[in-house]
Structure 1
Amino acid sequence: MRARALLTLFALLSLLALAALPAVAEEIDCVTTEWKLLGANHKVCVNAFDDPEVPCVTCYMSQARTGGISGAVGLAEDPSEFSLDCRQTCAVVLPEKFPKKKKVFSEGTSVLFKDTQVTRFFDEKRKALLYLAVSRKIVSGSPKNSISTVVIR
């Protein structure tokens, strides 16, 4: 009984942590990659999110989504397969004190223990913002990643 209460508490804390994140993705559209007889199809979806601290920078991320019955009810673990591209959409002006590293986006890819995170790095020497997407899993992470740069003009 105690283990179940701890699991419930962990789930609630995880949901609260996800709710506190600054960037929220907007789904653009999806393409079916494999048809499933029962449940949702496997697909690749494209989402967009704006950097919450840098107006005029939008990132687009494509990510594989698991279908089937477990995918349809939200219990499937999505594979660590994604691509990231970030673009400057208007003039970018950075504040004088700007963090060198900051998590700007996170999205769960399983019920509890796996997510895709995007971290922004500032390369002051080259006047560039670098966005790194990685798949994170509490027990065993994945080295799969994608990077995109935005040169400040």
Structure 2
Amino acid sequence: MRMIAAALLMMPALAQAREIAQVGVDWVGNDIVIEAIADPDVGGVTCHLAYFERSVLDRLSQGNWFEDPSNSAIQCARTGPVDVSALRPGRPEDVFSEGRSLLFKSLRVKRIYDAENRVLVYLAHASELNEGSAKMSMSTVPLLAGDMTGNPAR
């Protein structure tokens, strides 16, 4: 039990999402949910993630209880001073993960630091145990000369 607790403590902390709105899209209760996600490793960047959430009535009427669409959209913005000095360029890192069904499907946000072009890239995608999805959304946050990068400014 101690080993499991130690392993969980050593895992990177993922961001917590804060729901900011739900937009109803039909009469059966399906919604588009919008969440704010502050990057836990890069202060000064907040992403807004939108995804489709099926209602219980829709699941019962369609007969496909466990299916959940993989569609999502993401937009990220500078919300304060940015410090990327602890990031490794070119390495995709998990920022956020949220279960989307009982059958091992999750919605994920990954960050990639493009040091050469001085940009943070955020990718929202679905992840499944046995079958991937080509549905994705991407957003970028340009780094400014004053941002802490560990590299000399251009």
Q: Same fold (TM over 0.5)?
A: yes
Q: How many residues align?
A: 129
Please state how far the C-alpha of 1:81 moved relative to its aligned partner: 1.1
C-alpha distance in structure 1 between counterparts of 2:120 and 2:78, whole Å: 10
Match of 2:46 among 44, 58, 62: 58
Identity value in percent = 34
Aligned-residue CA RMSD in angstroms? 2.2
Within 5 Å, give how 1:32-111 maps onto structure 2: 32-36=24-28, 41-69=29-57, 76-95=66-85, 97-100=86-89, 101-111=92-102
Q: Deviations over 1:70-119 (max 9, x none)?
A: 869xx644211110001011121222x42232111111110241001111
- TM-score, normalised to structure 1, is 0.76
Cα 1:82–1:68 change in 2 (3 A) is same
**Correspondence 1:117 to 2:108:** yes
Structure 1 residues without counterparts, runs of 5 or longer: 1-15
Structure 2 residues without counterparts, runs of 5 or longer: 1-7, 145-154
C-alpha distance in structure 1 between counterparts of 2:104 and 2:12, whole Å: 17
C-alpha distance in structure 1 between counterparts of 2:49 and 2:101, whole Å: 17
Contact 1:121 1:129 in 2 (8 A): yes
Q: State the one-letter code of the partner of 2:100.
A: T
C-alpha distance in structure 2 between counterparts of 1:107 and 1:21, whole Å: 13
Please state how far the C-alpha of 1:20 moved relative to its aligned partner: 7.1
C-alpha distance in structure 1 between counterparts of 2:57 and 2:123, whole Å: 31
Q: Which runs of 4+ in 1 moved over 6 A?
A: none
C-alpha distance in structure 2 between counterparts of 1:109 and 1:77, whole Å: 9
Match of 1:128 among 107, 116, 119: 119
- TM-score, normalised to structure 2, is 0.76
